[in-house]
């Protein structure tokens, strides 16, 4: 019903707009001169004449004669506008609008960096994997998964009883044999929004207790496989309370993308087929139990939720456009 109503209203609006554009008043405004005042405002006039200390003009907007004091008119700006219009130069409003549009575009590009032709990171937090599937670059959002700690209390108690100095061991496990997102390249690039505070402007000094961005706190860990589970790492707790976490970390290069909260993480070497996770190292606190898991499988089927470039963006790689997310299956 709503679409049907819109389909009937739209032609009416277009028709009214066409009639207005053909009306004498609209035509007069299009052809009107601009009588620019010293305060920056202006009056649209089809004609005007100076009468002593007054300027008498015929208003193109109201269709009647009006007057303003002569000393309120910026004659230099008025003459310049007419000369520019005669040469086809854009009006000041158009120039200012172009500047605003360009500033907004640059600000958007800073918030949403381009990672491939036609693919941009979104303007919010998250973790994304840049993949290549059948020769096409694709972005995949990796959802955070909660790692469960398998305390294995029976074994720990036995070890502690036999050797009180030995450490208790607890595995950090993720359910399922494989991650939902599988990379089809052995050198995927990962992007993490590392902003502790989304209101912080990168590159500017901050006040208060805002934590600085630390790209090195996000690392890639290779997961150990076991039936229906994957082990991210393990925690060793000594009898005197000291906690030590261990992970199979991959050598990576991490750098913050200039002007944004995004961190680019690139493996130093090709990743072997298997299961991996982005882990967040918390310094003395250990590791965040919530991880972002992904796999490397060059023959895996397509990721159903992959973000793909628009066809126009692929045809013109020098003009990247925003992401177009594939609709849910």
Which tens digit of pLDDT belongs to each residue from 130-150?
999 999 999 999 998 875 544
pLDDT digits (tens, 9 = 90+) for 245-299: 566 888 999 998 887 888 999 999 999 999 999 988 877 667 787 889 999 999 9
Higher pLDDT, 90 or 187: 187
- For CA atoms 308, 311, 317, 320, the dihedral sign is negative
According to the model, what pLDDT value does residue 99 have? 72
According to the model, what pLDDT value does residue 93 have? 65
Q: What share of the chain in percent tops pLDDT 90?
A: 33
List the chain domain ranges. 18-99, 122-202+210-325
Instruction: Give the H/E segment covering residue 29.
Output: helix 24-31
Is residue 242 within 8 Å of residue 145, measured between CB atoms?
no
According to the model, what pLDDT value does residue 146 have? 72
According to the model, what pLDDT value does residue 52 have? 93
Report whether pLDDT(203) > 50.
no
Under 8 Å CB-to-CB from 61, ≥6 apart: which residues?
25, 29, 44
According to the model, what pLDDT value does residue 289 have? 79
According to the model, what pLDDT value does residue 109 have? 64
Report whether pLDDT(114) > 50.
yes
Report whether pLDDT(207) > 70.
no
According to the model, what pLDDT value does residue 51 have? 92
Q: What does the block give as tokens for 312?
A: 């126009």
Q: What share of the chain in percent tops pLDDT 70?
A: 62
According to the model, what pLDDT value does residue 276 have? 95
Is residue 170 within 8 Å of residue 153, measured between CB atoms?
no
CA 116 to chain centre: 13
Compute the distance between CA of residue 134 and CA of residue 182 in angstroms, rounded to an integer: 14
Mean pLDDT of the chain: 74
pLDDT digits (tens, 9 = 90+) for 167-183: 555 677 888 999 999 99
Compute the distance between CA of residue 261 and CA of residue 246 in angstroms, rounded to an integer: 28
According to the model, what pLDDT value does residue 329 have? 41
CA 309 to chain centre: 15
Compute the distance between CA of residue 87 and CA of residue 72 in angstroms, rounded to an integer: 26
How far from 286 is each of 19, 32, 108, 117, 190, CA to CA, in Å? 70, 72, 35, 38, 22
Using DSSP's 3-state secondary structure scheme, residue 177 falls into coil
CA 51 to chain centre: 59
According to the model, what pLDDT value does residue 211 have? 53
Under 8 Å CB-to-CB from 304, ≥6 apart: which residues?
326, 329
Report whether pLDDT(13) > 80.
no
According to the model, what pLDDT value does residue 235 have? 56
Q: Taking the model in full, what pTM does it have?
A: 0.56
Judging by beta carbons within 10 Å of its beta carbon (0-12, 13-18, 19+), is residue 46 exposed, middle or buried?
Answer: middle
According to the model, what pLDDT value does residue 195 have? 61
Report whether pLDDT(56) > 70.
yes
């Amino acid at each position: 019903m709503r679409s049907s109503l819109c389909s009937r209203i739209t032609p009416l609006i277009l028709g009214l707009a066409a009639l207005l554009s053909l009306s004498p008043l609209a035509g007069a405004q299009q052809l009107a001169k601009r009588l620019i005042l010293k305060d920056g405002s202006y009056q649209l006039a089809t004609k005007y004449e100076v009468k002593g200390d007054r300027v008498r003009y015929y208003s193109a907007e109201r269709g009647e004669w009006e007057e303003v004091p002569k000393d309120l008119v910026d004659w230099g700006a008025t003459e310049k506008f007419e000369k520019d219009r005669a040469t086809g130069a854009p009006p000041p409003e158009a120039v200012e609008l172009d500047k605003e549009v360009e500033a907004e575009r640059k600000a958007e590009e800073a918030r949403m960096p381009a990672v491939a032709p036609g693919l941009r990171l979104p303007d919010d937090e998250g973790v994304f994997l840049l993949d290549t599937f059948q020769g096409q670059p694709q972005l995949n959002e990796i959802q955070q998964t909660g790692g469960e700690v398998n305390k294995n209390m029976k074994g720990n108690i036995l070890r502690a009883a036999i050797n009180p100095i030995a450490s208790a061991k607890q595995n950090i496990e993720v359910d399922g044999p494989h991650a939902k997102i599988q990379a089809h390249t052995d050198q995927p690039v990962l992007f993490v929004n590392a902003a502790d505070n989304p209101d912080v402007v990168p590159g500017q000094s901050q006040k208060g207790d805002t934590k600085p961005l630390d790209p090195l706190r996000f690392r890639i860990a290779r997961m150990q496989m076991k039936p229906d589970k994957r082990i991210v790492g393990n925690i060793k707790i000594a009898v005197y309370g000291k906690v030590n976490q261990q992970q199979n970390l991959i050598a990576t290069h991490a750098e913050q993308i200039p002007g944004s909260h995004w961190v680019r993480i690139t493996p130093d070497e090709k990743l072997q087929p298997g299961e991996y996770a982005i882990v967040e190292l918390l310094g003395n606190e250990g590791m965040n139990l919530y991880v972002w898991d992904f796999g490397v499988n060059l023959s895996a089927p397509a990721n159903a939720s992959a973000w793909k470039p628009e066809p126009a963006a692929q045809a013109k790689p020098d003009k990247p456009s925003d992401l177009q997310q594939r609709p849910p299956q």
